[in-house]
Amino acid sequence: MAPDMQPAADRFDDEHYPAYTMGRAAEMLDTTPGFLRSLDEVKFLVPQRSAGGHRRYSRYQLRLAARVRALADEGTALDAACRIVILEDQLEDARRINAELTRPQPDQ
């Protein structure tokens, strides 16, 4: 079922549901809307758009943005911070897959 077709109560648990406006997202991250726009401009985050064309962010996107912001606050350039977060996630995925593939299989 498409996210916009889900009953409203089911959306609370969906970390990918675009529940937050740009203003609310910026407030939650203690940053500016300009920071979020910059993540959109470099295609790190591509928020969904409301019917009126306003950016809407999910909890998952806000977690990614918070990680980039933490690196940027430490002095890392925005493009480098985005790349670091992407690479960290790829490494985590590779480790998870490796662990699954190397796990001893029960006798069949």
Q: Give residue 45's pLDDT.
A: 93
Q: What is the pTM of this model?
A: 0.80
76 lies in some domain: yes
Q: Give residue 104's pLDDT.
A: 87
32 lies in some domain: yes
Q: Give residue 71's pLDDT.
A: 98
Q: What is the CATH number of the domain that holds 67?
A: 1.10.1660.10
Q: Give residue 10's pLDDT.
A: 66
**Per the structure, how many domains does the chain have?**
1
Q: Which of 67, 99, 94, 96 is nearest to 80 (CA)?
A: 67
58 lies in some domain: yes
Report the distance separating Cα 19 and Cα 17, nearest Å: 6
10 lies in some domain: no
- In the chain, % of residues over pLDDT 90: 76
5 lies in some domain: no
Residues across the chain: 108
Task: Please identify every stretch of the chain with a pLDDT value under 50, giving residue numbers as ranges.
Answer: 1
8 lies in some domain: no
